Structure 1
Amino acid sequence: MTAPTPPSRAAARKDHLLVVDDEPTVRELLRTALRYAGFDVDAAATGQEALDLAAQRSPDLVLLDVMLPDMDGFEVIRRLRAQPRQPRPGHGGGVPVLFVTAREARQDRINGLRLGGDDYITKPFDLEELLARIQAVLRRTRGEQPSRLSVGDLELEPEGHHVTRGGRTIRLSPTEFRLLHFLMANTGRTVTKEQILQNVWEYDFGGDPSIVDTYVSYLRRKVDTREPKLIHTVRGIGYVVRGPRT
């Protein structure tokens, strides 16, 4: 693995990351690579140590393993969500969590996302990809949005509510536009139907998840009329937008 190129933005902001992993080699690899990339990094080997550090230092993001010696990562995220937290400027109240784990079963991914995980990546991982996912989670939790979103030849301009693919204008309803915007803002990341309901329709689990399938179908008829297909179903979890090389 090669060390990631240090981003000037991360170095300037000195975002504080908490790495939670009981494997000393993985912990040291992540601590060294992320510090080189410009982050302030703490590390914990157990769930309780992670909870104590999170309470003391209020990290901007937690990289969390599922398999820990005292409690699993799912219990850690439950307790993190229950902790009072003083947010740093530009951040929301809940600490973002990115699972980094060898547990790759579909049900584990579903559990991690449904418990409030912001992303889920399995070992072995590529450091450049991990860094990109960290930066994406930090952008999302700050509410930062680029002026234009692009995936392959699909482009979306939030301010003008304008969508094109291969230079051809695509006309979308307001709900279709919000759905596509949410999917593209999370490019490469699988989002659950519950997350889509919360962010596009702005209601929680009381909503009917079948409406998500219906609107994804509408989007596909308008957006995925050519190859490569960009909107993909992740069975049992939700949907993901992927570019031709992701």
Structure 2
Amino acid sequence: MSAANSIEHPRLLLVEDETKMAWEIAAELKSLGYLVRIAATEEAGLEAIRSEPAALLILDRMLSGADSLSMIDTLRSECIRIPVLVISALAGVDERIRGLKAGGDDYLTKPFVMEELAARVEALLRRSSDARATSLRVGPLEMDLLERKASRGQRVLDLLPAEFKLLEYLMRHPGQTITRTMILEDVWRFRSAPQTNLVDVHIGKLRRKVDEPGEAPLIRRIRSAGFVLDVND
């Protein structure tokens, strides 16, 4: 199903200072039915989103040579909870993690094909809609947020409250590398990351319940990076 068919004409804000790139992105998204507004600076982007709400922000990581992640901080401080797709030529793992920790919901490195950008936009809009739902479904995993129940296929998962919260967090970020610090800050609300094995202990317990012997492992450890909920295999 195309983005234009799945969501009716959502309004997007693109903050990109490379004129040619901005028009190419806007043209692709407009062809799919999206309404796209372009801003070339962080200040213009903030003014645009304050005056006319958008369903999603596409933000170039470097604007006029400066890191634009501070724009996300400003939006969050004003309680503007718009999903953010960060696009950047900074392709290192540390840079992607920094972009996600700063509040980005997804990170796409340049150069990219327009079809992938469109797919990321559609996925983020769908995820934003799912966040207001009472259930989550990722691959064989299902979660009822009202009844506080989770299952893998036909198998009910007997989860403790902390494990339920942790699995919910992973299911809201499928395919993304989640660091220990992100889990400590977002799940357990630590303001700083203490030296603790709390995350590893809970991930270990959760993996044993989600991935039983004979089943394809869904929760993978990424060496020196963190963990990922991988449902693509």
Match of 2:137 in 1: 149
Distance 1:81 1:240 in 2: 25
Distance 2:171 2:83 in 1: 19
Distance 2:132 2:144 in 1: 14
Q: 1:70 to 1:50 in 2, by over 3 A?
A: farther
TM-score, with length taken from structure 2: 0.80
User: For the Cα contact (< 8 Å) 1:64–1:98, is it kept in 2?
Assistant: yes
Distance 1:169 1:240 in 2: 21
**Which stretch shifts more, 92-101 or 216-225?**
92-101
Match of 2:176 in 1: 189
Q: 1:26 to 1:59 in 2, by over 3 A?
A: same
Instruction: Quote how far apart the aligned CAs of 1:96 are.
Output: 3.1
CA root-mean-square deviation? 2.9
| Per-residue Cα deviation, 1:86-141 (whole angstroms, up to 9, x for no partner) | xxxxxx5344322022211122112212222222122314134323333145336x
Matches within 5 A, 1:18-97: 18-69=13-64, 71-81=66-76, 84=78, 93-97=80-84
User: For the Cα contact (< 8 Å) 2:185–2:192, is it kept in 1?
Assistant: no
Q: 1:155 to 1:96 in 2, by over 3 A?
A: closer
SS at match of 1:191: coil
% identity of equivalent residues: 32
Match of 1:171 in 2: 158
Match of 1:100 in 2: 87
Aligned residue-pair number: 228
User: For the Cα contact (< 8 Å) 1:99–1:120, is it kept in 2?
Assistant: yes
Q: Provide structure 2 residue ranges, at least 5 long, that are not aligned to the other structure.
A: none
User: For the Cα contact (< 8 Å) 2:57–2:85, is it kept in 1?
Assistant: yes
TM-score, with length taken from structure 1: 0.76
Instruction: Quote how far apart the aligned CAs of 1:236 are.
Output: 4.8
Instruction: Quote how far apart the aligned CAs of 1:29 are.
Output: 2.7
SS at match of 2:63: coil
